[in-house]
Amino acid sequence: MKIKRVYEKAHIEDGKRILVDRLWPRGLTKEKAQVDLWLKDIAPSTELRKWFGHEPAKWNEFRKRYIEELKNNEEQTSILKEQLITGMVTLVYAAKDKEHNEALVLKELFEN
């Protein structure tokens, strides 16, 4: 599994590209995004996303809260698990911060 900003050019090595944001990325058409699957309901809740606001100081608490949300989101996590079995998957996200985003949490969680 890889992670990548949705704004980066898609490559064949990406395999299946899964968007893990609740909101569609600003300024991108579906053709440009080249997303195979949009799991918007696996993304952090609107409340958690707004609370976090991509503030690095809140990262550890965000991770804990997001993991708790995922534990109660069996339908979406099952879909992602099924996709991981089928081959290479790249989780794509829109955030500018490459070190503090939901795709990192998902990658960490599903690779262990």
The pLDDT tens digits for 49-78 are: 999 999 999 999 999 999 999 999 999 999
Percent of the chain with pLDDT over 90: 98
- pTM comes to 0.94
Dump pLDDT digits (tens) for 16-56: 999 999 999 999 999 999 999 999 999 999 999 999 999 99
Smallest Cα–Cα separation from 11: which of 88, 93, 83, 82?
88
Residue 112 pLDDT > 80, yes or no? no
Q: Name, in order, each residue with C-beta under 8 angstroms of 104's C-beta and a sequence gap of 6 or more.
A: 3
% residues pLDDT > 70 (the chain): 99
Q: Say how far residue 26 (Cα) sits from the centre of its chain.
A: 15
For the chain, the domains span 2-111
Half-sphere exposure of 36 (CA within 13 A, CB side): 14
